[in-house]
Structure 1
């Protein structure tokens, strides 16, 4: 609930359920309360307000509220409105941070996958079919090595040694970032790496600077810590370094989180002169900067600008990376690159949460990393082909939408001719296509005139999805 409005994203794909409209709405509201997306004590919107947001009749909302009242989920009193009930007052209940719960509910990755979604074109995630044969080959070839690995005690909080060595070689050879084994901590994807660095450097109430828009997982991680978030604007045209120049001395943030290469979701790449100005700024103020490198391997241009950590020996820059984008998110293999004393502290925090990740998965990831350049070439070819199709379809079918061709990565950031991205997302779903509205990638609820499309899909699905979006847009605009 923000500003007296219920964010319709909390209700999921409620219109696709079976049954009368009011029962579908009651079921979606009930499910959101059960998940904690709408905490007990929340005041729901008046019937007319919610009906306008959902583009249904007021009678539908009245009937849905009536069902929830009868089941004990809702208390309605004259003058007090409709309040979500504490149904079991005597039960122990976890303390839920309302802003955190609502923010996580907007994260596309936190939404449940419905088997009934098979007929949808899903632009909320990219397909990554290029790894299958590599995964089969390396898993099959790992038999004897895995048998030997089973003799290990099974706990390696900093990560499997041969994987750490492989990551160090990968960063050194592929990205001109000289790295040793002792500078690497293996994590459960980049998400855990971001959370761990936040735990080490930021405390509740500390200032943290994030790009706006940014990766939704970073928003969740820093909200979980209780940090105070401040934005640095990013558009498809570039980064606002001047805004960061003003923020650092004024806020003295504990952490700055940036994704300077194939920024998610805009696909922008920070020019080298901006990188030099940024690193000088970070060095001057000695503010810990987390560089998200997860999209770096998916830069289509063969000439990549240098990573931030390669530009200075004294600026406090930590690098976060992952195999999720170049290979497969299911590997859950990420890392932090940092000086040895920092790695030792991060390892202690990580050990307190999981005692170390799966050594079997890490062993297979190490073998795949040995073929990283081969996989990267295939993946970048897939990215370039899909991007060509997406740009052609958008130009042909939606000429009044505004966008810039990203330099790589997985997403394209599109500006709509008008605000209302959240509402349009719901309408697009009715037309059979899933998209992410801009506010889901903005911790302050801004960017409601933007949507994000993950474009790496088979060409026929890209064409079908954009065609459906064009139909939805004509309906919405009228």
Structure 2
């Protein structure tokens, strides 16, 4: 029945599994492969298409997610839909979709993004504050104040609201950074800052050095622009500078990306002496730094060391901050601080991209800073998040004492859990999802990491944190045995 003379093109930018998905859909829509027909085994398809079995599994997952095929235990995989909707499409956009510059998220990241909208899901992977941690009443009061004042909502200047930039400069002064408003760019979240840096300052084939593991591996921000990620092993104190020096020999156009404060996913805090050492090394090598500092205000006992930017006397640090992690992700307010020529360049690109961040959000954020509500909110937030952290640690002590080890974070939202023995992280992810627990497996942050899980305590309720960790322990023990 299945005479397949076609093979996916390994030189084409479209992933192999998506090429196979397109081929199978075409066969079904043309009625060459009929509804109810049984597909060959995964092993047989791998041979027919001349690909790895993992590629076939990814293709089958995609077709199953679209409701085109269905697998039954012992009964093989059958075609259950003739893709009528596909037949009625007026134009096939697949060629355009596959040739766009921006790479798609990994399939597991797409699954995570979809699952996060399920209100019944225990979100143990999210890095955003729960709704009860967002100062809703304070934001509403500011919105009313702005409404009464008839604040104009036109376009802001390229760098963003001057009022907001002035207030951010006052805030930066409290953490040791001296900046003037012309060296600050307002962005639509910190992630846009990274995208603008990629577009405006780096070139294809640039090397981005980053801690290994790092949340940047789960994004396509730099890879979509043709840049290479180069992992530098991490120590308890952060990036191994000796290893960085070994990798950076004779490489031009490189840049360091680091999260020195409450690192995502490990929770590590780089001590002051190592921050000084990193700055000294990068100054000597002429190696610029992107400092991601979005978790700074979420500390529990003692404030973290000052930012790298506060130690920067030569203008080599681009400082990325924002309020999404500690105040409100929905306001979409972030900032980049750097030398004025850099900020001019990035603001020009931002104007070409979206003509400026929301004026309303900028006005709200400026009022939060100017009124002192931002500082007061952070003070209260730390107490509430510490309770969540302690709840997670207690649950881990109860359920994971014999199967894993973990860090005790002094701030931020993450516990980096290390299982005593490796397991299939994707299988754990899928089984947890079926029991309404959403986790971030470690291989999102480090290639082929099969012993780590990032546990977040920022979004789930206290009861859900305990329940989620209990369910997770059951699934881990099930795999281990």
Give the TM-score band, short-chain normalised: 0.7 to 0.9
Contact 1:236–1:404 (Cα < 8 Å) also in 2: no
Which among 419, 425, 430 is matched to residue 429 of structure 2?
A: 425
TM-score (norm 2): 0.79
Residue 119 of structure 1: aligned partner: 120
Residue 401 of structure 1: aligned partner: 404
Residue 328 (structure 1) shift: 1.1
Residue 451 of structure 2: aligned partner: 449
Residue 302 (structure 1) shift: 2.5
Residue 448 (structure 1) shift: 2.6
Does residue 133 of structure 1 match 2:137? yes
* Greater Cα radius of gyration, structure 1 or 2: 2
Residue 463 of structure 2: aligned partner: 460
Which shows bigger deviation, 211-220 or 253-262? 211-220
SS at match of 2:411: coil
How many residues matched? 426
Give deviations 1:148-203, integer Å, cap 9, x for gaps. Answer: 424xx524221111111111111112x11112111110000001001111222211
Partners of 1:305 and 1:195 lie apart in 2 by 27
1:250–1:423 distance in 2 versus 1, CA, 3 Å = farther
Partners of 2:382 and 2:313 lie apart in 1 by 31
Does residue 96 of structure 1 match 2:119? no
Partners of 2:376 and 2:151 lie apart in 1 by 27
* Bigger proportion of residues as helix: 1
Partners of 1:433 and 1:129 lie apart in 2 by 20
Contact 2:103–2:224 (Cα < 8 Å) also in 1: no
Contact 1:5–1:45 (Cα < 8 Å) also in 2: no
SS at match of 1:119: coil
Residue 156 of structure 1: aligned partner: 157
Which among 470, 474, 478 is matched to residue 475 of structure 1?
A: 478
Residue 308 (structure 1) shift: 0.7
Partners of 1:440 and 1:288 lie apart in 2 by 26
Partners of 2:85 and 2:75 lie apart in 1 by 17
Residue 352 (structure 1) shift: 0.7
Residue 431 (structure 1) shift: 2.6
Which among 374, 377, 394 is matched to residue 375 of structure 1?
A: 377
Does residue 328 of structure 1 match 2:346? no
1:91–1:293 distance in 2 versus 1, CA, 3 Å = closer
Residue 221 of structure 1: aligned partner: 221
Partners of 1:187 and 1:42 lie apart in 2 by 46
Give deviations 1:276-302, integer Å, cap 9, x for gaps. Answer: 110011101112210001011112232
Residue 169 of structure 1: aligned partner: 170
Contact 2:213–2:234 (Cα < 8 Å) also in 1: yes
Contact 1:390–1:463 (Cα < 8 Å) also in 2: yes
Residue 369 (structure 1) shift: 2.2
1:114–1:358 distance in 2 versus 1, CA, 3 Å = closer
Residue 148 of structure 2: aligned partner: 144
Contact 2:269–2:304 (Cα < 8 Å) also in 1: no
The residue correspondences of 1:17-416 to structure 2 (distance < 5 A) are 45=53, 59=74, 62-63=77-78, 66-67=79-80, 71=83, 93-94=95-96, 96=98, 101=103, 103-107=105-109, 111-113=113-115, 117-125=118-126, 126=128, 127-130=130-133, 131-145=135-149, 147-150=150-153, 153-173=154-174, 175-216=175-216, 219-234=219-234, 238-314=238-314, 316-370=316-370, 371-399=373-401, 400-416=403-419
RMSD of aligned residue pairs (Cα, Å): 3.6
Residue 42 (structure 1) shift: 11
Partners of 2:314 and 2:111 lie apart in 1 by 36
Residue 96 (structure 1) shift: 2.6
1:330–1:341 distance in 2 versus 1, CA, 3 Å = same
Contact 2:216–2:445 (Cα < 8 Å) also in 1: yes
Give deviations 1:40-94, integer Å, cap 9, x for gaps. Answer: x99684899679999x76755522xx347x54999xxxxxxxxxx9x99965731
Gaps of 5+ in 2: 1-7, 22-34, 40-48, 65-70
Partners of 1:373 and 1:388 lie apart in 2 by 23
SS at match of 1:372: helix
1:154–1:303 distance in 2 versus 1, CA, 3 Å = closer
1:315–1:180 distance in 2 versus 1, CA, 3 Å = closer
Contact 1:438–1:450 (Cα < 8 Å) also in 2: yes
Partners of 1:397 and 1:100 lie apart in 2 by 41
Partners of 1:183 and 1:47 lie apart in 2 by 47
Residue 79 of structure 1: aligned partner: none
TM-score (norm 1): 0.80
Gaps of 5+ in 1: 11-21, 27-40, 75-84
